[in-house]
Chain A
Amino acid sequence: MAFTPPRLLPLPLPPAAAPASTRAVSARHHGGRTAPELSGPTPRVVVVTSGKGGVGKTTTTANLAASLARLGLPAVAVDADAGLRNLDLLLGLENRVHLTAADVLAGDCRLDQALVRHRALQDLHLLCLSKPRSKLPLAFGSKTLTWVADALRRSPNTPAFILIDCPAGVDAGFVTAIAPAEEAVLVTTPDITALRDADRVAGLLECDGIKDIKIIVNRVRPDLVKGEDMMSALDVQEMLGLPLLGVVPEDAEVIRSTNRGVPLVLNDPPTPAGLALDQATWRLVERDVMTAVMVEEQERPKKKGGFFSFFG
C-alpha cells in the first residue's frame, strides 16, 4: 500500500512551480476533502495496458471505472479485447451486453444504444468491442476506437473518462486499443517477466506519442518484499523509470469480488487492495503520482501488562 504524505518529503519543484496536483495533495490531507479535483480537459482517454497477460489489467480497469463513477465522474469502460473479453464479468454486466461496437460499425445500432449502464453506478457505462465469437471488420484498421472516442467526445453527455482495457500482447488488439489514448496506465506485477513486457509496451506507447504513462504495481506481497523474495515497488519503478500511480497488495478479496461481479472498490468494509485502487483513482483524476511508498511492515512494540509481565 502506498500513500502520499504531504510533509514527508521535500518536493522536487519550488512551491511556486509545483503542479496543481501536488498542491491538491496537500490540500487533500489538510482540508479533508471528499472528492478529488479533476485535472485536464474531458474526456480523458486512458488506456490500461501491460503487455503480459494476467497481471490485472481488467481488474484495474473495472475498479478505476467504478471508483470514478462513485466519485461522480462519468466513465465509459471500453473492453478492447475482441477475442477474450472479461470486463463485463467483473462489472457484473455479462447478461446485459447484447450490442457492441461492431454492431455500431455495421449500422445495427447507435453508439448510445451499445453502451451498457451499470445498475448501481449511474455514471458507469460499458462498451464491448465485439462479441467473443464474432469478427471485426478488418478494413477499418485501428480507427474503430478512435471514432468511438471522438463520438463520445462530441456527444451531449460527454464522459469525464474513457478507460480502455487493452488486450494482452502487442498485436492488432493492442494497436486498436492505444490508438485513441492520450494517457496510459501500465499495470505490472513485481516479477521480471511482467517487467520486460511492461518496458517494451512503455517503449511502444512512447513511440506512438503517449508520453503520460504511469505504472500500477499489482499483487505486491509486503512479507515477501521484506524477506527480499520479491521486488519492491521502488525497485520496479527504478527498472522502468516511470512514475507510480499506485501499489496494490495481493488480496484474496479480488477473487471474491470477481465472482460476485462487484468491483473491489465498492466493498464494504473496504479491503487493502480496494483502498489502494481508490487511492490510484484519486491520483489519476488529479494527475498526481506517488511520492512515498510503504515498503515493509514494522514490528510493533509489544505492550507490557498483565500477570506474566511481572516475569519480564
Chain B
Amino acid sequence: MGKVVVVTSGKGGVGKTTSTAALGAAVAKTGKKVALVDFDVGLRNLDLIMGAERRVVFDLVNVIQGSAKLSQALIRDKRVETLFLLPASQTRDKDALTEEGVAEVIGKLRSVFDYVFCDSPAGIERGAQLAMRFADEAVIVTNPEVSSVRDSDRIIGLLDARTLRAEQGEQIAKHVLVTRYDAARAARGEMLSIDDVLEILSTPLLGIIPESQDVLRASNLGSPVTLSEPLNAAAKAYIDAAKRLEGEQLPVIVPFERKGFLDRLLGRRAA
C-alpha cells in the first residue's frame, strides 16, 4: 500500500504546487512510483508546472463522475517514467468533488503507487479538506512570514481534527517545509528564523528551500526544479527533503549568507 501525502498550507502563493512537483519528481527519480493529484478544481496549475498542460484530456472530476477511467486520466511524465499526474478540472466548480468519489480514487491510486501526493488548494474550505481527508502524512508549506505561519497553524489544527486518520484516533505525520527562505534577511533579523517557525508551530522540519530564481525559471520552463537543475541549491534542498520524507535521517542545514571580506572588515550589513 502506498503512502498518501497532502501538500498544504492554508495561505496561497507560498509554493504548494511548486513543492508538490519538486518533491514528487525527486521521489520518482529514485524509482518509486509516484502520482501527483491536483485538487485545485477550477484553478488547476500543477499541469503547467509539470509541463503537461497540453496533454490534459481527462481530469479528476471526470474520473469521479465516471466519464473517464483513472488510467485514461493519468498523464505519464516524459522525463521520469514512474511519475504520473492526475490533473484537476479547469471548468467545473469545487462541488464537483465528493468525499466518496475522492475516497475511491485515492484508494485505487494507493494500491498502485508507492506515493500519492495531493496538491491542496489554498484556503480551509471543502477543496482543501478533501485534499487532506485521506492523507497519511502532511507537508505544510510555510514561508517565514507572519500570515503564512498563522495559516499553517490553522491547517495543522484541521489536520488533527478533520482527516480520516485523526477521526480514527490515529496520528497523521506532519512536516513543515519552509520555502522562500532568504538567508540574508534572516541574518539581519528581518525575517522569522527557522527556530521561531518551528517553535511556534511545534512541528518537525522537512527542509528549508532557499529563495531562488532557479525555482521560478523551472516553473517558466514547465519542469520541476529537481529535474531541470538538480545541482542547484533549491533543488538539492528539495531532494534532501524528499529523502527525509522517505524516512532517511539527514541533518537540515540552515542556509547562511556568506559575507565578503570587505563586509566583515567594515562590519557592514548586507543590503
Do A and B interact? no
Please report A residues at the B interface, Cβ cutoff 8 Å. none
